[in-house]
Amino acid sequence: MTEAPILEIRGLSVEFRSEGAWHAAVRGVDLAIQRNQTHAIVGESGSGKSVTALAVMGLLPQQSGRIQSGSIMLEGRELIGLPEQALDKIRGKQVAMIFQEPMTALNPTMPVGQQIAEAVRAHRRCDASSAWNEAQRMLDLVRVPSAAQRMRDYPHQFSGGMRQRVMIAIALACQPRLLLADEPTTALDVTIQAQVLSLIEDLKREYGLAVMFITHNLGVVALIADCVSVMYAGEIVETASVNELFAAPKHPYTEALLASMPRVDRDGQLEPIGGIVPSIREIGAGCTFAPRCALAIERCHSMRPPLLEVAPERTVRCWVRGVAA
């Protein structure tokens, strides 16, 4: 029997209010991540990747955002509907998140060692000196050279890559079960990017973490993901193991993404595909990709395809391609 996933999202729909009406930014997302697994989410800008992660963290804007339907189970516990206080405990204890720009998430006026130590103390009962020692161990673990000497340095004294390591140390200080990484390496140059990716990979293995890794970059996906979901206009259009996705993409959008894939050895973003992602205010009745799709048949323009299982753990949202091999 396979192990229960650490994170299991079912039928998640998230809406935002704009000009007096609610519009769905994420629709019917299904996703499961096991321990010791990195699940990448890829897709163009605005496809709903960050919104999905923010929903898991319970960090959607309170006034203008809401979860319309669905379920988010973390180690068997439903997160949707939990009071803020309970969510607060889960954030940074069972779940931690790292973002693209670590400078904005770090406190510029506090030495990094102290920031990590505070994260340790926020989640574990320990005195100041053992928290400090643990913080130093974390800084060493994320391979910041001469960690002991750097504990009293401020964020601006670190390079971008080193700041990202500090963020990862803070995220791991609480010993999370699930790490949400939203474009954590996009702002870094290629060599540093590779180092941070291999660090996340090592930590995943060492701690048996489940990792949700959000990126635009398919080269990065090829390097670190076990499993991939491709998002388009708020929906998952394909989920597959990384090998299957690259070897035999099924959804026409995935194919287009792969065709425009930058080489791994360059820091490229995806080349644009003809047409644009529809705005969340103009989602029609049919397949959201149909207006850009060369394979579209009549039905694609009038009926939304469901996510069809074409093989075990392989799903595709496409009337034309969603047939078992």
Contacts of 282 (CB under 8 A, 6+ apart): none
64 binds, among Mg ion, ligand ATP, none (CB under 5 to 8 A by kind): ligand ATP
The DSSP code for 323 is: S
Give min distance, CB of 51 to ligand ATP, in A.
3
Helix crossing, 128-141 with 112-123: angle to 10°? 110
User: Is residue 323 packed enough to be buried (19+ CB in 10 Å), middle (13-18) or exposed (0-12)?
Assistant: exposed
Give min distance, CB of 287 to ligand ATP, in A.
18
Give min distance, CB of 111 to ligand ATP, in A.
31
Q: Specify the residue, 64 or 107, whose C-beta has the smaller distance to ligand ATP.
A: 64
Q: Specify the residue, 50 or 115, whose C-beta has the smaller distance to Mg ion.
A: 50
Q: Specify the residue, 65 or 262, whose C-beta has the smaller distance to ligand ATP.
A: 65
47 binds, among Mg ion, ligand ATP, none (CB under 5 to 8 A by kind): ligand ATP
Give min distance, CB of 66 to Mg ion, in A.
19
The distance of Cα 249 from the centroid of its chain, to the nearest Å, equals 21
Give min distance, CB of 49 to Mg ion, in A.
5
Give min distance, CB of 50 to Mg ion, in A.
3
Q: Specify the residue, 25 or 138, whose C-beta has the smaller distance to Mg ion.
A: 25
Closest CB to Mg ion: residue number: 50
Gap between the Cα atoms of 12 and 10, Å rounded: 6
- Given a contact cutoff of 8 angstroms between Cβ atoms, the answer to whether 238 and 258 are in contact is no
* Tokens found for residue 99: 């973002």
Between CA 103 and CA 5, with CA 208 as vertex, the angle to 5 degrees is: 100
**Site residues for Mg ion per CB under 5 A:** 50
**Site residues for ligand ATP per CB under 6 A:** 16, 25, 43, 45-51, 61, 64-65, 216, 280
CA distances to 23, 38, 160, 300 from 284, rounded to whole Å, are: 12, 33, 42, 11
Gap between the Cα atoms of 283 and 308, Å rounded: 20
User: Which phi and psi angles does 212 have, rounded to 5°?
Assistant: -100, 120
Q: Specify the residue, 216 or 250, whose C-beta has the smaller distance to ligand ATP.
A: 216
305 binds, among Mg ion, ligand ATP, none (CB under 5 to 8 A by kind): none
45 binds, among Mg ion, ligand ATP, none (CB under 5 to 8 A by kind): ligand ATP
Q: Specify the residue, 253 or 319, whose C-beta has the smaller distance to ligand ATP.
A: 253
